[in-house]
Copies of this chain bind each other. A is one copy, B any other.
Amino acid sequence: MGINERKVRERNEMRQRIIQGAIHMFMTEGYEKTSIRNIAEKIEYSPATIYLYYKDKDELLYDVQKEAFQGLLVEFQARATATDPFERLTQICQTYVRFGLTNQEMYNLMFILKAPMNVIEEQEYWKNGDDCFAFLTTCIHECIQLKQIRYDNVMIAALSVWSMAHGLVSLDICCRMKVMEMEEEGVVHAITASVNEYLKLIKN
């Protein structure tokens, strides 16, 4: 009975087509101008068809977010390869910031927009960000074990590192760095400098 397998495969292919259409719209037109009708037109289907594969827009955005996180994890695995934990932590931070600044629309969907988080039930936890966060926590765990950083609690340390990196990237993406009198180039430099300063601060 290979017919059911094909049905499942075709369903996944269609979902993938929708996700890729959505990503394409994000990249070219930005999140704000990406509508269900836009995505449908891009993949040459009726808007109503999308609702056969996704309950609502939030559920679709959640899947696009999942795709984006797989991209970040690949970056981590490719760029944060040092065997020394602290050195790897440095690579993680640099990769994170770089990823955020070069994929602003995707970063927005991953870490800022509320919409994709609406699918998560109260008290339930967020599976999309799971692997990337685990990549960070295991690294920090090793740093603490080797007494390489001035933190003793893995959770507090992971949250702090993440918050510093996210704070810098998101303030830039959300245009809030306009309080400072700086050109675009100077902003990127200040972000990099701040991350490096922070890593120096936490180093034992």
Contact = CB atoms under 8 A, between A and B. Distances in A.
Interface of A: 32, 111-114, 117, 120, 124-126, 129-130, 133, 150-151, 153, 155-156, 159-160, 162-168, 170-171, 174-182, 190-191, 193-194, 197-198, 201-202
Nearest to A170: B170
**Copies of this chain:** 2
24 contacts: A111-B174, A111-B176, A112-B170, A113-B174, A117-B176, A125-B180, A126-B178, A129-B176, A129-B178, A130-B179, A150-B201, A156-B190, A159-B171, A159-B177, A159-B180, A159-B191, A160-B164, A160-B194, A163-B163, A163-B167, A163-B194, A166-B171, A167-B170, A170-B170
Nearest to A130: B179
B197 A126 contact: no
